[in-house]
Amino acid sequence: MKIGIFLPTPGTVPDLATLLGQFLRVEGEGFASAWTPNITAFDALSLLAMVGRETRRIELGTFVVPTYTRHPVVMAQQALTTQAAAAGRLTLGIGVSHRVTIETLLGMDFSHPLRHMREYLAVLEPALAQRPVAFAGEEFRPNGYQLRVPGATPPPILIAALGPQMLRLAGRRAAGTAIWMGGPRYLTEYVLPILGPAALEVGRPAPRIVASVPVCVTDYPADIIPRANQDFARYGQLPSYRAILDKEGAPNPSDVALIGPEDVVRQGLDAYAAAGATDFAAAIYSPPGTNPERTWAVLKAYAGGG
């Protein structure tokens, strides 16, 4: 299992210079990848284009860019630009987001997320390949639009897939899935039985499973766990995350987070590897009273960089 770092650190909104420095640290300390979300701070693809010009080795992934807010051709154009800047090291993680975000906060229709993603991929895939895009669907109807981005190859696509139908789609149409807050039991019992067979059915390679949860090395987990439940409370309330926590048998978000001394965190990483995660994107969690350097050190050692 490859180890990457999820940036920025949950609960922080660093300025751009600080954040770029953190990406450089990820590369300098030997991690395989760096992943960034696209929520309400920096645009993920714009950020990774800048990072791509400053780094040379690490994989750069979006975790994830919402699809509803960008036409698939626009997504392809941004991704190809980032891919050119990063010399082919981009992995494009996309997802439909959540009803509360798309409908309540943004005022858009969220009535058919699975159909939306199917149609989105039907447009995104040829657009990324810089072929003329012609498709007649319910939501998208491009007619011959073609991108030309010199020096850019199509990046692999990961789909944030939590339910069975979206997981099946990810297996059949993408390079794999990116899953936030999914524990080892959920991966073993619910993701692997759907994702792998779906890819096999259409002759695709074994799909990637990029898992990410908060990680905090501390000698006082009993003090940190209540704070983690407070800081990550929304993930116990959003229906899609609530469903995967229930499948895990996890009442609270802290039950899938890796919080404890060094040996506990290492055992947690082993559990994810045994559950079939091909990649682990560690979201280093450091509330007041903790030392993030301890977490960095454990992850670096586990990744083989020290």
Listed by start position, the domains of the chain span 2-303
Neighbour-count burial of 233, counting CB atoms closer than 10 A to its CB (0-12 exposed, 13-18 middle, 19+ buried): exposed
Residue 306 pLDDT > 70, yes or no? no
- The whole-number pLDDT of residue 10 equals 73
The count of other CB atoms within 10 Å of the CB of residue 101 is 18
Type of residue at 56 = R
Q: Model pTM?
A: 0.96
Element (H, E) at 90: strand 90-95
Mean confidence (pLDDT) of the chain: 96
CB 146 within 8 A of CB 128: no
CB 197 within 8 A of CB 191: no
CATH number of 2-303: 3.20.20.30
Summarize pLDDT for 257-287 with one digit per residue, the tens.
Answer: 999 999 999 999 999 999 999 999 999 999 9
> Phi and psi (nearest 5°) for 28?
-65, -30
CA distance 290 to 172: 42
The count of other CB atoms within 10 Å of the CB of residue 293 is 11
CA 172 from centre of chain: 18
The two three-digit tokens of residue 90, written as one number: 């981009």
